[in-house]
Amino acid sequence: MLLQIRAFLRLQSQTRSRARGCVLRWTAPGVAERIPGDSVATDDRIAHKGGVIGVCVVGDSLMTVGADQMCRTIKTDASSFVGAVCTPLGGTPLSMASAGSVVVVTLTSGTLVVLDSAGAKIGEQKLNDLASQALAVSPDGAEVAVGGTKKPVIWRFKLDAGKLTALEDVVIDGKGASVMAYSPDGKWFAIGDSAGMVKYYKTGVDMERPRMECWRHNSKVVAMSWSPDSKRLCTGGIGRDLIMWWIGDKRGKVQLKLAHFNGVNAVEFFASGTDLVSVGDDNAVRWWSFALPAPEKK
C-alpha cells in the first residue's frame, strides 16, 4: 500500500451524551486520555456543553471552542479544564483557525472574533455572510481569509494587534469555499468547495488566478492540511476518500478510497511530514504512515 495505517482507535458513539463535548489527548499511537471538564463550568466529563466545535494549540496553550459559546484555554500539559480561562464568544462558533499567537473564530451571527494565546478577546469584525465556515490564517498571522457561502468570494483582512482591516476580495469560480488553508511557507493558498473542487493559488499579486482548478472529490471538501514542506496537500470530504496532491512543478495525486466509512471530518500532517492523522464520522481516528513514490506527472 502507498498509505498504511499505523494506529486505529474507534471512539465512543458521538450520539451518546457522555461523548459530546469531550476533549481527548493522544499520548501515543492509538492511546488517548480524556481531559476532564470543569465541574463548575460544565461537568466532570466534558469540556463544553453541547459539543466541541474547534481545537487548536497556540504556543503552550490548548484552546477549544464549543456550542456553549465559550472559548476555554489551558496549558497543553494540564490534567483537566479546572482553572481554564473561559472567554465568552458572544455567539455560537462555526470554525476556528490559528497561526503564531493568534486565534480567529467565526460565529453564526456573522462575526469574526480574534483571540490572543491567553484566550483574551482582542478584536472582532462583522462579516457579510452569516454562515462563513471556511477560515484560514496566514502562517505569519498577518492575514485572515474568510470564505463566503452565499457568494463565491474570499474576504481577506490584514490583522495587526487584533485590528482587522479589509483587503481586496478574491472572486473564485464555482461554489463558495467550504475549507481553506495557507501553506506553511506562505506561498500557496488552497480552497475546497461544496462541489468537491480543490484549487490552489499563488499568494500575493497572482491570488486572482488559480494554478490548478480541475481536482475533484465526488462530494463536499471539508478537511485540508499542508505538509510541513508545503509540497503536498491532503484533502478529505464527506465522500470518504483522502487525496494527496503534489503542489508546484510535480503535479500528481495519490487517492486513498474509503479512508473513513462515513466521511472524513479532519486531517492533519505531523511535523515529520511522513505521517498523517484523520478522523471521520465512523467515530474512528486513523494514523497513516507514508512510503510514497514520486507521483506521475499529469
Confidence at 63, pLDDT banded by 50, 70, 90 = very high
Instruction: Report the alpha-carbon distance of residue 54 to residue 62 in Å, rounded.
Output: 11
Q: Is residue 150 part of a domain?
A: yes
Query: Which set of grid coordinates corresponds to residue 74?
Result: 489551558
Query: How many structural domains are present in the chain?
Result: 1
Percent over 70 (pLDDT), the chain: 83
Going by the DSSP 8-state scheme, the letter that residue 11 receives in this structure is: P
Q: Is residue 244 part of a domain?
A: yes
What's the confidence (pLDDT) of residue 37? 86
Q: Is residue 82 part of a domain?
A: no
What's the confidence (pLDDT) of residue 5? 47
Confidence at 200, pLDDT banded by 50, 70, 90 = confident
Confidence at 121, pLDDT banded by 50, 70, 90 = very high
pLDDT over 80 (residue 153): yes
Q: Is residue 29 part of a domain?
A: no
pLDDT tens track for 206-248: 565 666 555 678 888 999 999 999 989 999 988 888 888 888 6
What's the confidence (pLDDT) of residue 255? 82
What's the confidence (pLDDT) of residue 16? 33
- The more confident residue out of 67 and 24 is 67
| Count of beta carbons in the 10 Å neighbourhood of residue 1 | 8
Find the CATH number of the domain harbouring 197.
Answer: 2.130.10.10
* Across 31-41, average pLDDT: 80
Considering the chain, what is the average pLDDT of its residues?
82
Taking a C-beta distance cutoff of 8 angstroms, is the pair 278, 288 a contact?
Answer: yes
Q: Over the range 60-74, which residues count as b (16 or more CB within 10 Å of their CB) and which as e?
A: ebbbbbbebbbbbbb
Pairing status of strand 284-290 against strand 3-10: antiparallel
Q: C-alpha dihedral over 283, 288, 293, 298, to 10 degrees?
A: 30
Partners of residue 79 on adjacent β-strands: none
Q: Over the range 226-239, which residues count as b (16 or more CB within 10 Å of their CB) and which as e?
A: bbeebbbbbbbbbb
What's the confidence (pLDDT) of residue 207? 66
Q: Is residue 195 part of a domain?
A: yes
3-state secondary structure at position 58: strand
83: left (phi over 0), alpha (psi -120 to 50) or beta: left
Q: Quote the Cα angle for 149-153-155, to 5°.
A: 100
Q: Is residue 52 part of a domain?
A: no
Q: Is residue 257 part of a domain?
A: yes
Q: How far is CA 277 from CA 21, 133, 217, 264, in A?
A: 20, 22, 19, 11
What's the confidence (pLDDT) of residue 164? 93
* Across 275-284, average pLDDT: 85
Domain with 233 in it: 3-23+92-290
Q: Is residue 62 part of a domain?
A: no
What's the confidence (pLDDT) of residue 208? 58
